[in-house]
């Protein structure tokens, strides 16, 4: 009976237990999934706020699990980071996205070069192969470095020392854009921006969400206005994410933001869909 009691105790939170089993199951399945080619990438357009043209897309990875169906990155990226699989997985995402951008450019030569944004995990930043892998992938595919933007979260760079910034600096000097992702969510040291080799600020969805209800809090507007003007004075472009309505797009355009991304324009989708949207010229 005591043993049974012990067992019951472990099962006291069956949901947590199921989660733990799933997490364990997913973790052990990850390396096999990479070998079997179960990951795929969806692309979400990046739209120029001034003229509504599609300028490129952010690559967002998904896992088509044979039993669980499509699993979003929020559920498996942390596991991949924990096990170190993020390095080969991230390299695969980079190669696949760069190859895809090259294909768009070949099919869409007349309408300005489409660019691709790829997310980098902090673990990839500290991996010694980052620069050589990126150079090798760009050379092999023939994509111009200026058509690639690597997104790094603000939190990954907080307190970053020169050793951490060196590979990013190297890539920036080659012409690769570096974007500071989820900007404004963490503890933003605005003065620190000057020191970082970034050329794009991606304003977090939280700012856009604050503009969902009217009238928009004038203090919120002032904050975004301030960030945009600071960014521009440092020669950084501003991209906003999570734009869900036309009213938000109008407001963000008025505030001087350069590029937008969100469901209002398009959900993440297959690569051919991006090609169609880019051909439509204006969203």
Instruction: List contacts with ligand C2E (CB under 6 A).
Output: 44, 60-61, 72-74, 77, 90, 93, 119, 121, 181-182, 241-244, 261-263, 268
Q: How far is the CB of 74 from Ca ion (least distance, A)?
A: 9
Q: Which of 42, 95, 96, 181 binds Ca ion (CB under 5 A)?
A: 181
Question: What residue 60 binds from Ca ion, ligand C2E, none (CB within 5 to 8 A, per partner kind)?
Answer: ligand C2E
Q: Does 119 bind Ca ion (CB under 5 A)?
A: yes
85 binds, options Ca ion, ligand C2E, none, Cβ within 5 to 8 A by partner type: none
65 within 8 A of 33, measured Cβ to Cβ: yes
Residue 121 binding: pick among ligand C2E, Ca ion, none (C-beta 5-8 Å cut-off by kind): ligand C2E
| Nearer of residues 90 and 271 to ligand C2E, judged by Cβ | 90
Adjacent-strand bridge partners of 48: 259
Shortest separation between residue 231's beta carbon and ligand C2E, angstroms:
18
Q: Which of the ranges 97-105, 135-143, 149-157, 213-221 carries the binding residues for Ca ion, by CB under 5 A? A: 149-157
Q: Name the minimum Å distance from CB 144 to ligand C2E.
A: 21
Looking up tokens 């020169």, which residue turns up?
Answer: 162
Closest by CA position to 141, among listed 166, 160, 116: 116
> What is the distance between the alpha carbons of residues 65 and 36, in angstroms, rounded to a whole number?
10
| Residue 17 contacts residue 74 (beta carbons within 8 Å) | no
Judged by beta carbon, residue 127 or residue 218, the one nearer ligand C2E is 127
Selected range binding Ca ion among 7-15, 34-42, 114-122, 139-147, rule: CB under 5 A = 114-122
Between 50 and 72, CB nearer to ligand C2E = 72
In the list 42, 95, 96, 151, the residue contacting Ca ion (rule: CB under 5 A) is: 151
Tell me the closest approach of the beta carbon of residue 9 to ligand C2E, in angstroms.
35
Closer residue to ligand C2E (CB): 151 or 278: 151
* Residues that bind Ca ion in the complex, under the rule CB under 5 A: 119, 151, 181-182
């Amino acid at each position: 009976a005591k043993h049974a009691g012990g067992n019951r105790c472990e099962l006291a939170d069956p949901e947590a237990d199921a989660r733990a089993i799933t997490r364990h199951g997913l973790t052990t399945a990850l390396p096999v999934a990479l070998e079997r080619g179960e990951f795929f990438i969806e692309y979400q357009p990046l739209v120029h706020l001034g003229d509504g043209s599609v300028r490129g897309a952010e690559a967002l990875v998904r896992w088509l699990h044979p039993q669980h169906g499509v699993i979003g990155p929020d559920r498996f990226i942390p596991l991949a980071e924990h096990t170190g699989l993020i390095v080969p997985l991230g390299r695969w995402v980079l190669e696949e996205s760069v190859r895809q951008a090259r294909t768009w450019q070949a099919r869409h030569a007349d309408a300005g070069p489409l660019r691709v944004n790829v997310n980098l995990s902090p673990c990839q930043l500290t991996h010694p192969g980052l620069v050589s892998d990126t150079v090798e992938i760009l050379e092999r595919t023939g994509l111009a470095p200026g058509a690639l933007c690597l997104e790094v979260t603000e939190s990954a760079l907080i307190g970053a020392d020169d050793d951490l910034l060196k590979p990013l600096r190297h890539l920036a000097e080659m012409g690769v854009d570096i974007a500071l992702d989820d900007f404004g969510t963490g503890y933003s040291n605005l003065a620190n921006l000057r020191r970082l080799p970034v050329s794009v600020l991606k304003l977090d969805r939280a700012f856009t969400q604050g503009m969902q209800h009217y009238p928009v809090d004038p203090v919120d507007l002032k904050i975004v206005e301030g960030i945009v003007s600071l960014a521009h004075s440092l020669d950084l472009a501003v991209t906003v994410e999570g734009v869900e309505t036309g009213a938000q797009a109008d407001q963000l355009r008025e505030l001087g933001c350069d590029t937008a991304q969100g469901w209002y324009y398009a959900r993440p989708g297959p690569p051919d869909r991006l090609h169609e949207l880019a051909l439509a010229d204006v969203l």
